[in-house]
């Protein structure tokens, strides 16, 4: 766990140290996220990417049951014989399962049963954790993976809930809006140089990382510059108003086709309301804050924006090298624990010579394919399907977002999505 690692200073949101306490903290965080929901909200799947919250609650539980209780708790009997079929996500090793596109057709088991399943598994896990000193090292690894896995689903819960509520014309609020801060402009962006050379990237610290962050390896980059903050809504609006969505020259071919087919003309969730741009948020429909970082854009939009500015997106190597170079820490970023669920504007007084918003606020699209690092090895068994089989036709995103748990992020963390996805908190940092 990198919350203990030297490279990431302690943040308020850090998890407790003891395994049972950490387990409880993570499990309760998930349920806290679902508390404002009605049972009806936990069932639907408006698009294939967005899973029903009920499914997230059950699937994360199935993970602990399958990989830990069944393996390590003597005499453990599965809670329900059909749940493996219902709540397996994508593990071929573990047999057949509900089609991903059909998750939103299942009203049963109801939410209350899923909570009962969680309570049962939690109680069994407490028993198992009481035995942890007697268990092999592999137990600790998979236990840690189970916590990290559930944190990943916490981020998905934030973004999936947002999407689910957004489909209703009623624009329901997940929670009341915080007090509106006085309007302010973001400070002008500034270019910060990073010297070229051979750098070592990938996970090199103590503690947990995903297999896709390994092996640490050397890479060469030439001199480059990075902007010292994320692109703002105000800047993105300039692109929109300059006709960026109507000029094919800025776009990759596939992106241009999508713009035509889908009629894109703004980020996801943006609507013109009484003549001004609003966006759907966890507080219902609100005015776009021009000083805040732009989010909910596809890679195609990020790349087209960069083209239009005469810049480009960074590679993941450049991003990681810069993040180390500038000593990025999660301390200043906006994460899940803030409860804000929106990236925050950079303070007008933020020092111009520092590189801001690298961790937290918004995932940053890189122009790097999600491919295996040199020396990458898939794990044996079902967990070998965790990451490796997705290593094609997706792009790496770096830095975490306002929906990521602060204790979950790392400088070396490699998130990945297809280039057309817009429902995550995805943003832009320019390079050149």
Distance in Å, CB of 40 to a copy of itself, minimum: 4
Among 3, 29, 45, 404, binds a copy of itself (CB under 8 A): 45
Burial 148-162 (b: 16+ CB within 10 A, else e): bbbbbbbbbbbbbbb
Only segment of 167-175, 227-235, 269-277, 319-327 that touches a copy of itself (CB under 8 A): 167-175
Distance in Å, CB of 252 to a copy of itself, minimum: 5
Only segment of 151-159, 160-168, 234-242, 286-294 that touches a copy of itself (CB under 8 A): 160-168
Distance in Å, CB of 217 to a copy of itself, minimum: 6
SS3 293: strand
- Binding mask 92-131 vs a copy of itself (x if CB under 8 A, - otherwise)? xx--------x-xxxxxxxx--------------------
Closer residue to a copy of itself in complex, CB, 207/308: 308
Distance, CA of 255 to CA of 299 (rounded, Å): 9
Only segment of 39-47, 124-132, 186-194, 349-357 that touches a copy of itself (CB under 8 A): 39-47
Distance in Å, CB of 237 to a copy of itself, minimum: 25
Distance in Å, CB of 369 to a copy of itself, minimum: 3
Distance in Å, CB of 221 to a copy of itself, minimum: 8
Distance, CA of 359 to CA of 379 (rounded, Å): 28
Distance in Å, CB of 231 to a copy of itself, minimum: 20
Helices 253-262 and 299-308 meet at what angle, rounded to 10?
Answer: 110
Among 76, 120, 245, 256, binds a copy of itself (CB under 8 A): 256
Distance, CA of 304 to CA of 306 (rounded, Å): 5
Distance, CA of 78 to CA of 75 (rounded, Å): 10
Q: Kindly report the backbone phi and psi dihedral angles of residue 198, in degrees, each rounded to the nearest multiple of 5, phi listed first.
A: -90, 125
Cis-peptide into 25, omega within 30 deg: no
Under rule CB under 8 A, which residues in 48-87 are in contact with a copy of itself? 54, 82, 85-86
Closer residue to a copy of itself in complex, CB, 8/221: 221
Cβ atoms of 379 and 369 closer than 8 Å: no
Distance in Å, CB of 30 to a copy of itself, minimum: 19
Pairing of strands 395-398, 415-417: antiparallel
Among 99, 137, 198, 261, binds a copy of itself (CB under 8 A): 198
Under rule CB under 8 A, which residues in 385-414 are in contact with a copy of itself? 389-393
Distance in Å, CB of 214 to a copy of itself, minimum: 14
Which residue pairs, CB below 8 angstroms and at least 24 apart, start in 123-126?
124/65, 124/69, 124/73, 124/76, 125/23, 125/64, 125/68, 125/69, 126/20, 126/23
Among 15, 33, 34, 43, binds a copy of itself (CB under 8 A): 43
Distance, CA of 386 to CA of 48 (rounded, Å): 19
Closer residue to a copy of itself in complex, CB, 56/356: 56
Cβ atoms of 426 and 297 closer than 8 Å: yes
Q: Is 143 exposed, middle or buried (0-12, 13-18, 19+ CB in 10 A)?
A: buried
What is the DSSP code string of 338-406? GS--S--PPPTTS-TTSPPSSSSSSEEEEEEE--PPTT--PPSSGGGGSSGGG-SS-EEEES--TTS-G
Only segment of 28-36, 262-270, 275-283, 369-377 that touches a copy of itself (CB under 8 A): 369-377
User: Locate tokens 């006709």: which residue?
Assistant: 243
Q: Quick check: 263 binds a copy of itself (CB under 8 A)?
A: no
Considering only CA atoms, give the Rg of the chain: 22
- Binding mask 224-253 vs a copy of itself (x if CB under 8 A, - otherwise)? ------------------------xx-xxx
Distance in Å, CB of 172 to a copy of itself, minimum: 5
Nearest to 404 by CA among 154, 34, 203, 232: 154
Only segment of 70-78, 117-125, 159-167, 333-341 that touches a copy of itself (CB under 8 A): 159-167
User: Locate tokens 């967005």: which residue?
Assistant: 50
Under rule CB under 8 A, which residues in 286-325 are in contact with a copy of itself? 299, 312
Distance, CA of 196 to CA of 420 (rounded, Å): 31
Closer residue to a copy of itself in complex, CB, 140/168: 168
Contact footprint for a copy of itself (CB under 8 A): 38-46, 54, 82, 85-86, 90, 92-93, 102, 104-111, 164-165, 167-170, 172, 198, 217-220, 222, 248-249, 251-256, 299, 312, 367-369, 371-372, 374, 384, 389-393, 419
């Amino acid at each position: 766990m990198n919350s203990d690692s030297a490279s990431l200073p302690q943040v308020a949101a850090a998890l407790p140290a003891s395994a049972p306490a950490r387990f409880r903290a993570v499990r309760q965080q998930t349920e806290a996220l679902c508390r404002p929901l009605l049972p009806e909200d936990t069932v639907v799947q408006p698009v294939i990417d967005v899973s029903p919250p009920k499914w997230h609650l059950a699937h994360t539980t199935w993970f602990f049951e399958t990989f830990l209780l069944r393996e390590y708790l003597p005499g453990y009997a599965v809670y329900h014989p059909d749940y493996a079929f219902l709540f397996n996500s994508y593990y071929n090793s573990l047999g057949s399962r509900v089609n991903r596109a059909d998750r939103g057709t299942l009203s049963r088991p109801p939410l209350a049963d899923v909570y009962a399943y969680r309570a049962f598994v939690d109680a069994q896990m407490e028993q198992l954790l009481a035995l942890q000193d007697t268990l092999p090292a592999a137990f600790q690894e998979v236990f840690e993976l189970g916590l990290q896995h559930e944190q990943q689903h916490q981020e998905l819960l934030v973004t999936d809930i947002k999407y689910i509520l957004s489909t209703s014309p009623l624009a329901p609020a997940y929670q009341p809006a915080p007090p509106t801060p006085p309007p302010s402009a973001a400070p002008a962006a500034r270019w910060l140089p990073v010297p070229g050379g051979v750098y070592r990237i990938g996970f090199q610290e103590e503690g947990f990382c995903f297999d896709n962050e390994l092996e640490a390896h050397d890479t060469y980059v030439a001199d480059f510059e990075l902007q010292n903050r994320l692109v703002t809504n105000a800047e993105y609006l300039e692109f929109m108003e300059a006709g960026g969505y109507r000029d094919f020259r800025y776009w990759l071919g596939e992106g241009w086709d999508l713009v035509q087919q889908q009629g894109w003309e703004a980020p996801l969730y943006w609507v013109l309301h009484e003549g001004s741009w609003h966006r759907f948020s966890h507080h219902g429909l609100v005015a776009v804050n021009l000083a805040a970082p732009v989010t909910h854009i596809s890679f195609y939009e990020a790349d087209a924006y960069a083209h239009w500015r005469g810049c480009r997106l960074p590679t993941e190597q450049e991003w990681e090298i810069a993040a180390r170079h500038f000593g990025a820490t999660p301390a200043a970023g906006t994460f899940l624990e803030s409860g804000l669920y929106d990236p925050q504007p950079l303070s007008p007084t933020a020092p111009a010579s520092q590189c801001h918003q690298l961790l937290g606020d918004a995932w940053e699209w890189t122009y790097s394919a999600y491919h295996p690092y040199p020396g990458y090895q898939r794990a044996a068994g079902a967990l070998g399907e965790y990451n490796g089989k997705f290593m094609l036709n997706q792009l790496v995103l770096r830095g975490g977002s306002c929906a990521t748990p602060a204790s979950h992020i790392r400088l070396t963390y490699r998130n990945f999505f297809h280039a057309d996805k817009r429902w995550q908190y995805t943003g832009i940092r320019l390079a050149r």
